[in-house]
Structure 1
């Protein structure tokens, strides 16, 4: 359940050949004008109860019966999802042309010919028509990471929401409203859709928060699945953090702060710092570096401690709250890399997620 009934979750799906090309969980809170998106990969691995096996969650996807897929996304995130809006690539192209294109920034020009298709996109700040937006979503660059692909999805969804908000008056007219809703599979009636557009027009897009699912990839039945960290508990914690961000008028996230953390392993557990970095990344922290902590007489560090390196105790307190760590203090060190905001020294009392 969401923390406030005023937080409205909407599942936005772009489909390709009756499968979700992207699924974005969009949450917004009208009172603060803040919103967030969470990318849900189709290859997220989970127990599929009706099949009695572990599989990709998008195996449940059926546009004629979206409820099983919607329920699974809700189960993963721990929230009820009252609304969904599904649009195929073909109809997305029409929709984008209807609202006069999407504004996007493309760092490098794209010129790819693959599988009988050609993807040509200019660089810079550009307005893409419907066909170009489809190319923007579909092209793949050799060596492109999942994170880079998700970032591209987020840029698309932000531009789409912005343009829908800007076109609110036009999209709300009798003829166009019926046409746009007919292009999609949605449980929003006309009044709900107009309210959705109204909320978008009040949203502060500059404070739109972007989130993604982090986990471990494993092959199951020859399928590469992404299993969220800590049996999906970390994903639910991330959603709780998103909700806190939405309902609080001011927060560190509003300032665009992404604190940089140095993680030092003071234990004999190999890879603990690396695994911890994945957790912190899922909560928006940058990782400045990984290493081993200094030991006394070769002994493991007993107690986890968090050090504020930049005279910003709130940053250390925030991380301490996330890890349930009671030991933190400010300790400036001019010899350190000036990009490090916080040093986290992991002790024997850290169980991989919390300090015990």
Structure 2
């Protein structure tokens, strides 16, 4: 009888050890397989593709880059009319031709190839489910600069100022288009709505952790993330200051191909990849204080006889996230070498700016004590602000790079 009891005790002990070991293994395996936890533990940038879908096609697509260590983010807007060669049909067409609502992998892969990255996560919101998500987070707050009054059936009415959109209003806001409205304004409106949505999802994520609410939220999305991973990611989004997020759009040349107006990315797609690398470098830079959030200003001066060179270069620099505050002509048009005049006082920052243009000709201009005192008092009238950098374009600049290596 004693032996039987001993054997039973040993068997019970073995079962407990197996169960405990299995539980520990399961927890460790879950942590290892959770991409958000992996990214956090390995100090990596997390990127997520968000698609707002209308009638089976992307109305807008955004890749949101987020770096947990600095809580900084950047967004890349991918227009559906981006043109590319599609090997499987052997023709040039829009990137959204590849979109399949049931399987977005081909579309996702092309966006990753365009940006030079691997997409970590994806979230697809149909128009109907977008409205449900917006109502679930109690609306999306945005700023509308001018009142909108369109007396169609149904009418579209939005007051000016800070407004909180419910689900129905959100659907109307991102889909309406005015005949006389420039495409850039439509794009900008949708970008601001997207940032408001991300802010709302982050702020309300605490309430969305309730098991019923979490399941409901998850059911409104088509995503490769499980519920735990999505909640963990949206927890991180709560730390993003959306007012400071740089929003980049794919730039390029518009051409009509087979009756379609397609946007072909600049420099065979190499420019947008460089902008992504620059944005990632900015996100992961570990400066402390206000410098980490600062957007640096640039003055672009054309020192050549090439008409429009300063304007085209300004657009290039805006793509990289710089604030071009003025463009114009230099004091003469026969500069041989491109020159950067630095007033920022931060050597690593100006070096990063110079790398964008492959320019090594940098002149440092320090402000005297009087100028610094004036800069500190921004209430003074008639104060002429000096940019962080002045870029004087010379003959060695080919529109993208300084070419002679200096």
Q: Same fold (TM over 0.5)?
A: yes
Aligned pair count reads 346
Q: State whether structure 2 residue 369 is matched by structure 1 residue 319.
A: no
CA drift of 1:292 comes to 5.9
Match of 2:103 in 1: 65
Match of 1:38 in 2: 76
CA drift of 1:22 comes to 0.8
Report the structure, 1 or 2, having the larger strand content: 1
Summarize deviations over 1:26-82 as a string: whole Å, max 9, x none: 111111111111111111112222121211100111111100000000000000002
Describe the SS at the equivalent of 1:14.
strand
CA drift of 1:205 comes to 3.4
Which range is displaced more, 268-277 or 188-197?
268-277
Q: State whether structure 2 residue 50 is matched by structure 1 residue 12.
A: yes
Q: State whether structure 2 residue 386 is matched by structure 1 residue 342.
A: no
Match of 1:122 in 2: 159
Match of 2:62 in 1: 24
CA distance in structure 1 between the aligned counterparts of 2:170 and 2:265, rounded to whole angstroms: 29
Matches within 5 A, 1:287-302: 287-291=325-329, 294-295=332-333, 300-302=334-336
Match of 2:401 in 1: 354
- Select 2:183's aligned residue among 137, 146, 168: 146
- Contact conserved, 1:288 with 1:339, CA < 8 A, in 2? no
The structure-2 alpha-carbon separation of the partners of 1:169 and 1:149, relative to structure 1 and needing over 3 Å to count, comes to same
CA drift of 1:166 comes to 1.7
CA distance in structure 2 between the aligned counterparts of 1:223 and 1:290, rounded to whole angstroms: 35
CA distance in structure 2 between the aligned counterparts of 1:260 and 1:144, rounded to whole angstroms: 29
Give me the CA root mean square deviation.
2.6
CA distance in structure 1 between the aligned counterparts of 2:331 and 2:258, rounded to whole angstroms: 40
- Contact conserved, 1:313 with 1:329, CA < 8 A, in 2? no
- Contact conserved, 1:313 with 1:330, CA < 8 A, in 2? no
Q: Which runs of 5+ in 1 are unaligned?
A: none
CA distance in structure 2 between the aligned counterparts of 1:345 and 1:127, rounded to whole angstroms: 45
The structure-2 alpha-carbon separation of the partners of 1:42 and 1:7, relative to structure 1 and needing over 3 Å to count, comes to same
Which range is displaced more, 96-105 or 270-279?
270-279
Describe the SS at the equivalent of 2:119.
coil
Match of 2:26 in 1: none
Match of 1:238 in 2: 275
- Contact conserved, 2:99 with 2:106, CA < 8 A, in 1? yes
CA drift of 1:344 comes to 2.1
> Which is bigger in relative contact order (C-alpha 8 A, separation at least 6)?
1
Q: Which runs of 5+ in 2 are unaligned?
A: 1-38, 372-382
- Select 2:294's aligned residue among 251, 256, 259: 256
Report the structure, 1 or 2, having the larger helix content: 2
**So what's the TM-score if we normalise by structure 2?**
0.78
CA drift of 1:277 comes to 2.3
Q: State whether structure 2 residue 115 is matched by structure 1 residue 77.
A: yes
Summarize deviations over 1:237-280 as a string: whole Å, max 9, x none: 111011112111228873432413223141x5444333322211
Match of 2:24 in 1: none
Q: State whether structure 2 residue 367 is matched by structure 1 residue 329.
A: no
The higher radius of gyration belongs to: 2
**So what's the TM-score if we normalise by structure 1?**
0.88
Summarize deviations over 1:141-178 as a string: whole Å, max 9, x none: 34433333332222212211121112212222222222
Summarize deviations over 1:111-165 as a string: whole Å, max 9, x none: 1145x55211111112111111111111223443333333222221221112111
CA distance in structure 1 between the aligned counterparts of 2:244 and 2:308, rounded to whole angstroms: 34
- Contact conserved, 1:293 with 1:345, CA < 8 A, in 2? no
CA distance in structure 2 between the aligned counterparts of 1:326 and 1:123, rounded to whole angstroms: 47
CA distance in structure 1 between the aligned counterparts of 2:260 and 2:319, rounded to whole angstroms: 24
Describe the SS at the equivalent of 1:263.
strand
Which range is displaced more, 186-195 or 207-216?
207-216
Match of 1:307 in 2: 341
CA distance in structure 2 between the aligned counterparts of 1:75 and 1:348, rounded to whole angstroms: 33
Matches within 5 A, 1:211-226: 211-226=248-263
CA drift of 1:97 comes to 0.9
